[in-house]
Amino acid sequence: MNDPQDMLDEALNPIDCVEEITTGHCWTVSRANDDELHVHVTGRRDTYELTFLWQEEYGTLQLYCEYDLTIPEDNFGPAAMALMAMNAGLWVGHFDLPGDTRTPCFRHTCLFRGPVGAVGQGRHIEDLIDIALTECDRYYMAFHLLSAPTCRDGDSLSLALMDIAGES
């Protein structure tokens, strides 16, 4: 017989909900453990790796959406300026450039209280994924320019950071 506390713990883990949503999109999903899930998603501009981490003690779900790019150390100065410009315009989440991997990513942490099956929480996770992919596509060209061995063309980087109207 199943322990009721184990069943309750499973019901409170949003990784289960994330896994259900992402497999429903037919994305490549791998679950590292009960509290960590990796998803490969092809966006409009690149393929991204989404990582979801559940921290039960805080009731938080962290989302990382990493580019398949590496920023050379010599470009950290322009990258820092670009990150400030990008993050200033975001309402949800932020872009980060960890020094150990030099791989740009979009990050966001959400508080989850109550059972994950509660009405609207699945939609909340869907919205978070959509926001992450939209923002990563939006700034792909800037990170692509910054990943070049020498990023000395400030005009091109400025253009890549501008909001555009319409689609190309």
**Is residue 106 within 8 Å of 93, Cβ to Cβ?**
yes
Residue 53: pLDDT over 90: yes
Q: Smallest Cα–Cα separation from 151: which of 45, 72, 66? A: 72
Average pLDDT over residues 18-28: 90
Q: Which residues contact 80 (CB under 8 A, 6 or more apart)?
A: 97
Q: Smallest Cα–Cα separation from 50: which of 76, 72, 23? A: 23
pTM for the full predicted model:
0.82
Residue 162: pLDDT over 60: no
Token pair, residue 48, equals 């991204």
Cα–Cα dist 55/69, whole Å:
27
Residue-wise pLDDT tens digits, 102-119: 999 999 998 876 655 554
Looking at per-residue pLDDT, the higher value among 149 and 126 belongs to 126
Token pair, residue 110, equals 């959400």
